[in-house]
Amino acid sequence: MNQSDSERIVSYLKKHNKYTLADSVEKADLVIINTCGVRQSAENRAYGLVDRIKKQNPKTKIILTGCLSQRKDVIKKLKDKVDVWLKITELPKLNLKLKNLFAQTKTPVNTEVFIRSYSAWNLAHHPVINNISCIKNLSNKNQNNVEVGGIEPPEPWVISRAPHLVTPTSDSLYHAPENYLNIKPKYQSKFSAFVPIGNGCNNFCSYCVVPYARGREAYRPVKDILKEVEELVKNNYKEIILIAQNVNSYQSQIATNLESRIITNLKTNNYKLNFSGLLKLINNIPGNFWIRFLTSHPKDMSDELIQTIAECEKVCEHIHLPAQSGDNEILKAMNRNYTVEHYKKLINKICKAINSTKTKTPANAEDFVYSNLMRKVDCQPIISNIAYIKKLSSKNQKDVEVGGIEPPEHWLAIQRPHQVTPTSNELYHKNLNTRNLWNLPASITTDVIVGFPGETKKQFNNTVKLFKEVKFDMAYISQYSLRPGAAAEKLKDNVTKQEKKRREQELTKILRKTALENNKKYLGQVVDVLVDDKNKREEWHGKTKTGKQLSIVNDQLSIKNLAGKFVKVKIIDVKDFGLKGEISL
């Protein structure tokens, strides 16, 4: 969420035609720090940045936003160094706050603003983890000759998957005149975008205070989400990442005047759309793109949602489902509201649903109409895959039936009932080229906390057992860090730092083994890859639909620009946390 929030901060400042990116933090007269407080280390980095900025130039103004901005202890600690405390939901009021700040201090017109976000998570594998951005404030009247300092915002200020944290805040603040999520962001990538579907949390896990820092769950209307995704796809974005503190508790009211076909076959209650329905609607948006989402809560992972994930062709076979612990007593102390047995059943259901879905089809396949061109492809080598052609809208055409199987998704279909589909061979072949050549196995990733207050060695061993049974593809393992304001703050943190580290290392060792075991299934297979950028060895790298990091080693392709493109790659080598492959020509 921090990354998406930072994108909106940059866009907001640019929209007001007073701010452009500056080229260095040293020149900044105003610094905006977007904070995360999940771990003490992230919190300490924010403190260090504030101190360094004030030592370099005491006149520099600082705005602090994000999770730490509502912490009373943080406000007390930094009250003499931070000029404005900005709740992220009050972003639409930032321009007024800046005007007041500059008016009070009589800041010169060419004021540079530096923005940085902090994450609690180790995203070293992310290619843009250490990038930063700056913004220049041009408050003079002549704004036509605004010069952007530096280049396009260097890919992000960076960031977090799930920022959490502290201090109670009134729900009424969530109902500001303008929802900050409606601010169009300045996307950091040209082909992969975070799309927030909501903010806040109702779960009150004892180690986390998101409900206090971010407020209760508040979700965006489905029409706003669809509009943002449609625009992204129109602009050739290839990866849509839906984000919220808890995506699978999403609900949105559906207008009763929506086309009836939009809500056909969606399980609704008084015209309320759940996350499963949202995935189906996004899946039905025309275009060649992937859908990812995070983070999910096990208690809200329904059978309906699992089936939707398995059936929707654009939804990635990668599920991030935080376990947090493999012991029921610890889960109860964490207030997670599920058991280890329930979690393992969910994993089995997910893997069974995804792995048994040989051909993923669009969610409303019964509404599809197959094209006249199907009659003309009997020379194609995969003709036996055709199942049937439904009735076309022309009066003179009859139902055509070929074979007896369900039509696989790679035969071109249009989601418009009673209309003839295009007969362009170009469209037909384009669809054939995007089909998966190998049925991808489900990829399961998780979050785990070791050393939670009171966690015994026996209880930790239950988490070890869970790791060995589930065989996670990736896990974000963190040592418990006491967070002011969280319910667990009252518990005695009786696991030593050394023991927490040892437990983290033990789980990491198991993870490396199971991840390598899972990756070996990819050897010799051809998979779709979304290419990202070049690594330090000048090799193109990207990721599979299952979220596997991959390097492309074809020397002859080193000069081609593959960024933001889907390519088919044959896997020739595997590591525990990565794959290597060659473009499959």
Q: Kindly report, residue by residue over 329-386, the tens digit of the pLDDT.
A: 999 999 999 999 999 999 999 999 999 864 554 444 333 322 222 222 233 333 223 3
Strand pairing report for 526-534 and 566-574 = antiparallel
More confident residue, 158 or 396: 396
Q: Determine contact, residues 483/521, Cβ cutoff 8 Å.
A: no
Token pair belonging to 181: 């999520």
d(CA 277, CA 260): 14
**132: pLDDT confidence band, cut at 50, 70 and 90?**
very low
401 strand-pairing partners: 388
Q: Name 199's Cβ contacts closer than 8 Å, sequence gap at least 6.
A: 1, 89, 174, 181, 214, 215, 217, 218, 244, 245
Radius of gyration from C-alpha coordinates of the chain = 25
- The per-residue pLDDT for 165 is 29
- Whether the predicted pLDDT of 110 surpasses 60: no
Percent of the chain with pLDDT over 90: 45
Q: How many of the other CB atoms lie within 10 Å of CB of 264?
A: 11
d(CA 18, CA 60): 18
User: What DSSP assignment string belongs to 300-331?
Assistant: G--HHHHHHHHH-TTB-SEEE---B-S-HHHH
- Reduced 3-state DSSP string for 14-67: HHCCCEECCCCHHHEEEEEEEECCCCHHHHHHHHHHHHHHHHHCCCCEEEEEEH
Give the DSSP H/E element, type plus range, for residue 580.
Answer: strand 579-583
What tens digit of pLDDT does each residue of 480-501 get? 999 888 999 999 999 999 999 9
Q: Which domains does the chain have, with CATH numbers?
A: 1-161 (3.40.1380), 317-358+440-520 (3.30.750.200), 365-433 (no CATH), 523-583 (2.40.50.140)
Query: For the ranges 76-85, 542-551, 568-577, which has the lowest average pLDDT?
Result: 76-85
**559: pLDDT confidence band, cut at 50, 70 and 90?**
low
Q: Name 7's Cβ contacts closer than 8 Å, sequence gap at least 6.
A: 156, 185, 186, 187, 188, 194
Token pair belonging to 189: 């990538």
Q: Determine contact, residues 225/199, Cβ cutoff 8 Å.
A: no
Q: Determine contact, residues 495/453, Cβ cutoff 8 Å.
A: yes
pTM of this structure: 0.73
**462: pLDDT confidence band, cut at 50, 70 and 90?**
very high
- The per-residue pLDDT for 407 is 40
- Whether the predicted pLDDT of 12 surpasses 90: no
Phi, psi at 327, each rounded to 5°:
-125, 130
- The per-residue pLDDT for 43 is 87
Query: For the ranges 33-42, 180-189, 231-240, 374-383, which has the lowest average pLDDT?
Result: 374-383
**Across 243-249, average pLDDT:** 94
**Across 129-150, average pLDDT:** 30
**Across 274-295, average pLDDT:** 96
- The per-residue pLDDT for 29 is 75
**Across 17-40, average pLDDT:** 74
More confident residue, 209 or 386: 209
433 strand-pairing partners: none
574 strand-pairing partners: 579
